[in-house]
Structure 1
Amino acid sequence: MAKRSNTKPAVRAEGQGIMSEHFDTVVIGGGQAGLAMGYHLSRLKRPFVILDDNARTGDSWRTRWDSLRLFTPARYDALPGSRFPAPPWSYPSREEFADYLSSYAQKYELPLRNNVRVTSLGHNGHRFAIEAGGRHFEADNVVVAAGWDRKPKVPAFAPDLNPAVHQLTAASYKSPKDLPAGPVLVVGAGNSGADIALELAATRKTYLSGRHPGEIPWPIDAVAARPLTLAVFFAFSHILTLNTPVGRRARPQILAHSGPLVRVKNRDLVRAGVERLPRTEGSKDGLPLLADGRALEVANVIWCTGFRPDLEWIHLPVFGPDGGPEQDRGVAKAQKGLYFLGGIFQQSLASSMVHGVGRDAAFIARHIAAAQSPIKIRPEGSAAPQ
């Protein structure tokens, strides 16, 4: 078991009675990316703290739709140093995965602070300055492991739909019983859209709009197909990467659309009665307008059109023309000591997946350790210098 560093944060006055805690490294976000980061920092005996805005570790999963199951089998749902406590080819529920994250943090004694929402990240000329609801932190290094999927993408024409059309996103949808009676249009045909459309088709007419992202063409848990599945997930981590020509070619398409369907297949949707439609491109007379010119009469629309990062609280010159942080394998190009973790295709297609984030975290942890002088770990119970 990796042991938490017993190095205590230095605390100093900031004037007018405001106290600031100083850490070697602050990890912002206590989801799977932040926990993987903590694991590797612990293994390298680097002092750190993880700040998470949820009341409990794993709560970001507990608030997603009720029937959510991970689209990858349990053998691919474990963080570094651990395994997922379920049959390897089963699909964990949101609650099971949330509880796993909680137990993981406890097992490795990761220094988590819950109910701490970071509202500002800057630099005071000496070290990073972090504001979090009246709390103040300073750090030599900061790993941003949160914010990648906080804001659902909703088309600009969504407000033009008739107010009678009930609109939700993949983040706000919970279950079919929460929708008014009548047909539903799911916009976005990736893994989330396919999952939600399949569930809704059992109780109402369901349409699925958007480009088919492709799919793994076999049941990934079928015994006979397991060698193929293993090869596919190997490709996600080791072939579809920024180090290979095929990975560099695939990345723009994956960022613009989504990765392939993994668990739900097109044939599953057809059998359930889900009707596939072209892209939804606008509104007409208060109804969703399809690319073929039809205005679709529906009572509900669920936008499964992805998420955009919520990084406006970072007040540092690290963003490129596309609005995203300029980084190389998570290392910020223009700000020493700043790192990003958990973004889609950060280094490989697996970077934002549970089984892939650990490798990126290990790289960043090694970079932090190499960039700084070694830190002596004092004997248990010794006092920290102030």
Structure 2
Amino acid sequence: MVNRFNTIIVGAGQAGLAMGYYLRNSSNSFILLDNHARVGDSWRFRYDSLKLFTPRSFSALPGMELPGNQEGYPTKDEVADYLEKYAQQFKLPVKLNTKITKVTKHDGDYHIVTNSGEEFLSKNLIVATGPFQKPFIPSFSEEIPNEIFQVHSASYENPSQLKEGAVLIVGGGNSGMQIATELTSTKRDVNISLGKKPKFLPYEVLNKSIFWWFNVLGISKLTVHSKLGQILKKNDPIIGKEVKPLIKEGKVKIYPRTAGYRDGKIHFDNGKDMQPQNIIWATGFVPDYDWLDISNIFDKKGLPIHERGVTKEPGLFFLGLSWQYRRGSALLLGVGEDAKYLVGNLKSS
């Protein structure tokens, strides 16, 4: 039996739920398919100490406030539970433990097959799997012996996972900097390898969230097509300065880009080397759309070709991508606006 819906949303994270919110009163049928056991698991399984860099007032989806002090910063478990309650509050049709293995298109309909063998048909397909898909780890990591513990930031939980001894964090985004800050409390030798000099912004300026200032100054409204938007996209700053004094005090040592592994050591672009006992790859993610068997919708890097989430393939949309339209497109604070925009582009039944 084939299940038919007007719209199928792939992923029941923040992007998928925001889309469901705007579709919930629609006459067209829809369903969210998600491979996790619970709504919010994509947040639950992130490292234990993770806190958002947006305060609660900037960390909610449309129609429902994130409970608690609105000027405070929520934990990852708060967000996970919030997303689960959000789906319940708006009675969104979520089907969990459902991994999509293949999507093709026939006669104007999207044909979806899942890991359980279930089949679905829909006029519209919204890919809301977000920007954090397949962890990227450099290929030379395979040359590193098992004596050195390796973990990607997506699988890092807390310092107890690590072996005794020095830690090298490769990559200096928000996750890498937060993990480095946490590890200094364990009295370890903490090192970060960076491809370029990071730019830091404080959480707050004059007792107001930096995101409050982004709104006041119009930065939140900058689109990916604007000149300043393009500059920000290429030089996304680190939110939070906690690691800066640790670097100044020598508790966190900075190395240039990691060049490779040889002769029992990690080598860097400047010719220096070191022998860590642990490596945390905070090297980001790469797209993983192997299940989406639709031609001519990806660029050479495997990224979707779209205009504000709308592709050239009728009925196919993306939601929750980094800089899909604005800086906040992949964040809780901005995904709702993109979802609302896509509603007007859907094909009716």
Structure 2 counterpart of 1:312: 290
1:214 to 199, 206, 210: 199
Q: Which residue of 2 aligns with 1:361?
A: 339
Aligned to 1:182: 165
Count, aligned residues = 343
Q: 2:238 aligns with which of 257, 261, 273?
A: 261
Whether 2:252 is the aligned partner of 1:274: answer yes
Amino acid of the residue matched to residue 88 of structure 2?
A: Q
- Residues 1:140 and 2:123 aligned together: yes
Partner residue of 1:15? none
Q: TM-score if structure 1 supplies the norm length?
A: 0.85
Work out the CA distance in 2 between the residues paired with 1:185 and 1:228.
Answer: 30
Relative to structure 1, the CA distance from residue 228 to residue 124 in structure 2 (aligned partners, 3 Å threshold; closer, same or farther) is closer
Within a 5 Å distance, the mapping from 1:1-386 to structure 2 comes to 19-133=1-115, 134-146=117-129, 148-203=131-186, 204-210=188-194, 211-216=196-201, 218-220=202-204, 224-226=206-208, 229-232=211-214, 235-239=218-222, 241-251=223-233, 253-254=234-235, 259-270=236-247, 273-317=251-295, 318-333=297-312, 335-368=313-346, 371-372=347-348
Which has the greater radius of gyration?
1
Please give the alpha-carbon distance, in whole angstroms, between the structure 1 residues aligned to 2:72 and 2:311: 37
Give yes or no for contact 1:53–1:114 (8 Å, CA) kept in 2: yes
TM-score, normalised to structure 2, is 0.93
**Alpha carbons of structure 1 residues 201 and 96: separation in structure 2 relative to 1, 3 Å:** same
How far apart are residue 324 of structure 1 and its match? 1.3
Deviation at 1:64, TM superposition (A): 1.1
Query: Residues 181 and 243 of structure 2 are in contact (CA less than 8 Å); yes or no, is this contact kept in structure 1?
Result: no
CA distance in 1 between counterparts of 2:192 and 2:298 reads 34
Go from structure 1 to structure 2 and tell me whether the alpha carbon gap of 1:362 and 1:147 turns closer, same or farther (over 3 Å shift).
Answer: closer
Contact 1:149 1:310 in 2 (8 A): no
Q: Distance in 2 between matches of 1:199 and 1:282?
A: 26
**Structure 1 gap segments, 5+ residues each:** 1-18, 374-386
Contact 1:27 1:51 in 2 (8 A): yes
The structure-2 alpha-carbon separation of the partners of 1:35 and 1:81, relative to structure 1 and needing over 3 Å to count, comes to same
- Cα pair 1:283 1:295 within 8 Å, conserved: no
Offset at residue 165 of structure 1 (A): 1.1
How far 1:137 moved relative to its partner?
0.2
Letter in 2 for 1:207: N
Instruction: Tell me by how many angstroms 1:74 deviates.
Output: 1.1
Q: How large is the Cα RMSD of the aligned pairs?
A: 1.8
Q: Are the aligned partners of 1:284 and 1:295 in contact in 2 as well (CA < 8 Å)?
A: no
**Letter matched to residue 208 of structure 1:** I
Q: Secondary structure at the match of 1:339?
A: strand
- Partner-residue secondary structure (3-state), 1:66: coil
What letter corresponds to residue 114 of structure 2 in structure 1?
Answer: A
- Mapped to 2, the partners of 1:208 and 1:72 lie a distance apart of 24
2:203 touches 2:209 (CA, 8 Å); kept in 1?
no
Give the conservation status (yes or no) of the 8 Å contact 1:25–1:141.
yes
Give the Cα separation in 1 of the matches to 2:193 and 2:70.
33
| Structure 1 CA distance for aligned equivalents of residues 16 and 10 of structure 2 | 7
User: Are the counterparts in 2 of residues 191 and 264 from structure 1 also a CA contact under 8 Å?
Assistant: no
Shift of 1:231: 1.9
Deviation at 1:283, TM superposition (A): 1.4
**Alpha-carbon distance between aligned partners in 1 of 2:151 and 2:165, rounded to the nearest angstrom:** 14
Q: Give the unaligned 5+ runs of structure 2.
A: none
How much does 1:248 deviate?
A: 2.9
Matched position secondary structure for 1:90: coil
